[in-house]
Amino acid sequence: MVGAGSDQFDDGVLSELRAFRPELGVVLGSGFGGLVSSVREVGACSFSDAELPVSSVPGHVGRLVWGCFAGLRVVMACGRVHLYEGWAARDVTATVRLFAAAGVGSLLLTNAAGRISPRLSVGGLMVLSDHLNLTSVSPLDGAAGFIDMTNAYCPQWRGELLDAAASCGVGVGEGVYACVRGPQYETPAEVRMLGALGADAVGMSTVLEVIEARARGLRVAGVSCLTNVAAGLDGANLDHDEVVAIAGGAGGGLVAVLECWSARRKSG
């Protein structure tokens, strides 16, 4: 595992989070910020107040909220920053380090993604089973050592999320997430290449956070909302506003799955 590094998070925010003792950290991707309405809020602050980098991308409001969700103490990050905005890999994973510094031991990451595999449905959810890091960067340096990524996404949690979805009637699949740098969407040829490499969906986030989390010993799960068919698979042009809108519409299903999953974790 790695140390705290040179992060200078706000002492007041960090103290409040440590006193709250969150059991689960959640990062909400494009369009998912509305999920915080399901949290019985105890505290909140802006990313800037916490000394976290702030995104300029629509759908990433840059706010931390902590409180109770389905019986669990959670801290939610409403949004994230990305490599394509000009941030370094270490900036992209700052929220994960804040969570770890606050004592969080479990992390759930969400994102919006383009569907590649025809066995998955647009507008549905995909539990991440593995990933392809095609960004050419890592948030770690040599001091972190060699981090095992064999089961980067907790197999037990993957099964629990799929079971929770089935029990509440929400359509969820499982698959491999490819992370590219962006900000341009993929070409049809690139999408065909990703499919040949084994990717079921593609996006521009999450993977670096998973690497950081695993280096710090956090247990990780990931869920994508499949907001569109990846380029070249249906002839339609891609639009970020549509991505945000579809992700927002899928929020209710994600809340239902997470409430069921969280309740089962609490009772177990």
- Residue 122 annotated as binding? no
Report how far Cα 69 is from the mean position of its chain's Cα atoms.
Answer: 17
User: Catalytic annotation on 131?
Assistant: no
User: Catalytic annotation on 204?
Assistant: yes
- Residue 160 annotated as binding? no
The residue annotated as part of the active site, out of 16, 82, 152, 199, is 82
Amino acid 249: pLDDT: 65
Contact 107, 99 (CB under 8 A): yes
- Residue 205 annotated as binding? yes
- Mention every residue, 6+ apart, whose C-beta is less than 8 A from residue 53: 47, 81, 87, 91, 94
CA distance 34 to 248: 7
CA distance 109 to 131: 13
The residue annotated as part of the active site, out of 38, 117, 228, 262, is 228
User: Catalytic annotation on 240?
Assistant: yes
User: Catalytic annotation on 82?
Assistant: yes
Helix (H) or strand (E) holding 115: strand 106-115
CA distance 14 to 102: 6
Q: Which sequence spans correspond to the domains of the chain?
A: 11-267
Q: C-alpha distances in angstroms, 178 versus 86, 89, 226?
A: 20, 16, 13
Amino acid 233: pLDDT: 60
With b for 16 or more beta-carbon neighbours within 10 A and e for fewer, the 8-34 pattern comes to ebeeebbebbeebebbbbbbbbbbbbb
Amino acid 70: pLDDT: 86
CA distance 81 to 58: 11
Amino acid 239: pLDDT: 64
Q: Hey, what are 88's tokens?
A: 């370094």
Amino acid 232: pLDDT: 53
User: Catalytic annotation on 213?
Assistant: no
User: Catalytic annotation on 136?
Assistant: no
Tens digit of each residue's pLDDT, the chain (268 residues): 454 456 889 999 999 999 999 999 999 987 677 788 889 999 999 999 999 999 987 666 899 999 999 889 999 999 999 999 999 999 999 999 999 999 999 999 999 899 999 999 888 899 999 999 999 999 998 777 899 999 999 999 999 999 999 998 888 999 999 999 999 989 999 999 999 999 999 999 999 999 999 999 999 999 998 988 876 565 566 566 666 666 666 677 888 898 888 877 666 5
Q: Identify the architecture of domain 11-267 in CATH.
A: 3-Layer(aba) Sandwich (3.40)
The residue annotated as part of the active site, out of 204, 231, 247, 250, is 204
The residue annotated as part of the active site, out of 60, 111, 178, 199, is 60
User: What is the β-pairing status of strands 106-115 and 24-28?
Assistant: parallel
The residue annotated as part of the active site, out of 112, 165, 213, 231, is 112
- SS3 state of residue 250: helix
The residue annotated as part of the active site, out of 240, 242, 245, 263, is 240
- Residue 80 annotated as binding? yes
User: Catalytic annotation on 190?
Assistant: no
User: Catalytic annotation on 85?
Assistant: yes
